[in-house]
Structure formats: structure tokens, C-alpha cells
Amino acid sequence: MTLLQATEVLPDGYTVRAPEPADAEGIFDLISAYNTAVAGAADCTLNSVADHLVEPGFDRRTDGFLVLAADGLPVGYGTAFAKGDRQAIEIEVASQEPTIAAWLFDHTMRRAQEMGRDSGHAEITVDSCVFRADESLRTLLADHDFTTGTTYHQMRIDHTGPVATPETPAGVTVRRGAYDDATRLTAHEIVIECFSGQYNFTPRPHDEWIEYFEASSTFDWSQFTLLEVDGRAVAVRICNDGLIEPENSGYIGTLVVLEEFRGRGLAKFLLRDAFARDAADGRAGTILHVDTNNPTPALGLYLSVGMTPTLVFDGWRSVIPVV
């Protein structure tokens, strides 16, 4: 693969610097306007932008690029986020100006290569999640040897009134909250076991995983739910309040069941339990994201409980040598 040969400097009138926490509102305005233009929905919150700027593993001083117009307003934003041992790196580019988008793509890719080289890798895997409707960015990626590897759907169910609390499956104990180290470690182990081998999954070290949740402004440990069978934790659901501000909706960030306990209705119970709790809290709906290439029939599961797709994204990937 040959990296995009963008200009070494930005066009006249533009400057670039590392983002600061104080830039969160400006970046939010930029990204939500960009998303609305290409996909018809903001799909972004101020809290999510602010949280990402201080997310464990992200060094905004080296891994973020904020492009400003002459009036000082943000017109482009790019990031490179390394996972695990820095062999897998995710890039994000947002700008409605093609020249700026190309510059950001070039520099996030260069930063990704630096990360891989500094970590001793001969090649790296670069991923980017892009709206299906974003023709400009899809073309940019395709022109530089990225190919699609999976598709994600945002799923939603609306709550127009009370939702019945589901009956707990026979032989199952429901544990609410993850307030102690042992429970958190068990939950993390289940998440890793269930997601291992799936597209774009790189497990975080446990301490970083804990730090990630504790750094989030829309999460607390009461939002964990674990299911036990004969005293063994076998399923985990992790929710957060990230979509309350823009959507008045609950959000399910993670829902997993150990393979040997699938087919017992545990996932459906966790979904319906979340719906009931969100409705009782006055939420207008419940939202989650699903990888449609998940080895489990996850999309069918969500459709079967009344959820419908609202946004479509593609996962794009390129494996490139480190030079």
C-alpha cells in the first residue's frame, strides 16, 4: 500500500494543533454537523467527545489533530487510537472539506505507522468505522487499499409506555452492579472470552479496562448486570447514560453470554430487562450497536425483540507495512 501523498502543510489560512479538553464543544459541533450532513443524524454527544479526549490509551498531544480555520473554528478533526500492543490502530477523520479530510487521513496514517514502528511491528492493521452513506470518506479509503470487513447497525426500540419486567429464567440469579474487584475481573474475563476472535476486537489490560469505565462521565458501576447459573457468572450486560442527553434513551454498550449457555433465553432476558428499566426511568427508547458478522445470530436476536436498525456503518481495514 502507498500512503496518500497529501501536502506537507495545510492550505493557506488553516492551522493544526493537538486538541485540548477545552476544545470538546467545538469538536462536538464539527463532528455532529459532519455526521448530520452525510448520514442525517448527529450520532455524537458532547460527553462522548469530552470522554474520548481523556480516554486511557489516547494521547491527544501526539494522536489527535485539530484543524482550525482562520477564524479559529474547527474545520477538521482526526485521531489515531492504538489498541493493545499497538499492532491494531483505529483512525477517525471528520471534515466536510475534502482537502482537509485528505490531509487528516495522511497524518493519522503516518501516526499509525509511527506507533507500529515504535512498538517493533513489521506491519499494522488500521481500522476505520464509516457511515455507509459517507461516499466521500468511503472513496478515500477505497482509493488507499482499504476494504470493508464487517457492517454495524445501530438498533433501537421505542418505549411509548410501561414495559413489562421479564420473568427471570429458571435457575438464573441476577446480580446488579459491579462494586468489588472480583466481580469486575469476572465480568472482564467473560467479555474477553465472548469477543475474542471477533472483528476489530483487541482486549484492554484489566487495569486500563477499569480506568476506561471510571473515566467515563456517563457510567457508574451500578450499570453492570451479571447472570449466574449455579453460582457461576455466565452473562454480562453493561449499560451507560451516553444517549440520555441527545436521545432520552438508554444505551447497551455490551451484552455477552458464554457460548455454552447460549440458547437458554439469557440474552433476550437481558434485553427485555433493560427495556423495562429504561421505560420505568422515562426513557423514550433503548439503543445498541451490533456487528452483523458476529458469529452469533445477534442481528436476528435484536430484531426478534422488536428493535429496528436506524444507522448503518461499515468497518474498513488495511494491513500495511511499517516503513
- CATH assignment at residue 284: 3.40.630.30
- The rounded distance, in Å, linking the Cα atoms of 4 and 110 is 10
Do residues 141 and 160 share a domain? Answer: no
130 versus 299: the higher-pLDDT residue is: 130
Q: Report whether pLDDT(7) > 50.
A: no
Q: Choose one of 97, 125, 145: the last residue of a domain.
A: 145
Would you say residue 7 lies in a domain? no
Q: Report whether pLDDT(5) > 70.
A: no
Do residues 161 and 137 share a domain? Answer: no
Do residues 87 and 195 share a domain? Answer: no
> What is the pLDDT, as a whole number, of residue 8?
58
Instruction: Give percent above pLDDT 70 in the chain.
Output: 98
226 versus 292: the higher-pLDDT residue is: 226
Q: Edge to edge, what strands does the sheet with 308-321 contain?
A: 15-17, 64-68, 74-83, 88-94, 123-131, 308-321, 147-158, 285-291, 249-257, 232-240, 224-229, 172-176
Section 8-13 average pLDDT = 83
Would you say residue 269 lies in a domain? yes
> What is the pLDDT, as a whole number, of residue 306?
97
Domain that holds residue 192: 155-312
> What is the pLDDT, as a whole number, of residue 70?
95
Q: Report whether pLDDT(231) > 60.
A: yes
Q: Choose one of 125, 145, 165: the last residue of a domain.
A: 145
Do residues 120 and 75 share a domain? Answer: yes
Do residues 307 and 166 share a domain? Answer: yes
Q: Report whether pLDDT(47) > 70.
A: yes
E strand spans, the chain:
15-17, 64-68, 74-83, 88-94, 123-131, 147-158, 172-176, 224-229, 232-240, 249-257, 285-291, 308-321
Section 39-64 average pLDDT = 96
> What is the pLDDT, as a whole number, of residue 4?
40
Q: Report whether pLDDT(206) > 60.
A: yes
Do residues 127 and 169 share a domain? Answer: no
Section 276-294 average pLDDT = 94
Mean pLDDT of all residues belonging to the chain = 94
Section 27-33 average pLDDT = 98
> What is the pLDDT, as a whole number, of residue 152?
95
Q: Report whether pLDDT(2) > 60.
A: no
Q: pTM for this structure?
A: 0.93
> What is the pLDDT, as a whole number, of residue 245?
87
Do residues 136 and 181 share a domain? Answer: no
Would you say residue 318 lies in a domain? no
Do residues 136 and 171 share a domain? Answer: no
Q: Report whether pLDDT(6) > 70.
A: no
Do residues 166 and 304 share a domain? Answer: yes
For the chain, the domain total comes to 2
> What is the pLDDT, as a whole number, of residue 298?
85
Q: Report whether pLDDT(292) > 90.
A: no
Q: How many Cβ atoms sit within 10 Å of the Cβ of residue 32?
A: 19
218 versus 6: the higher-pLDDT residue is: 218
Do residues 51 and 189 share a domain? Answer: no
Do residues 105 and 51 share a domain? Answer: yes
Do residues 212 and 267 share a domain? Answer: yes
Q: Choose one of 145, 177, 208: the last residue of a domain.
A: 145
Instruction: Give percent above pLDDT 90 in the chain.
Output: 92
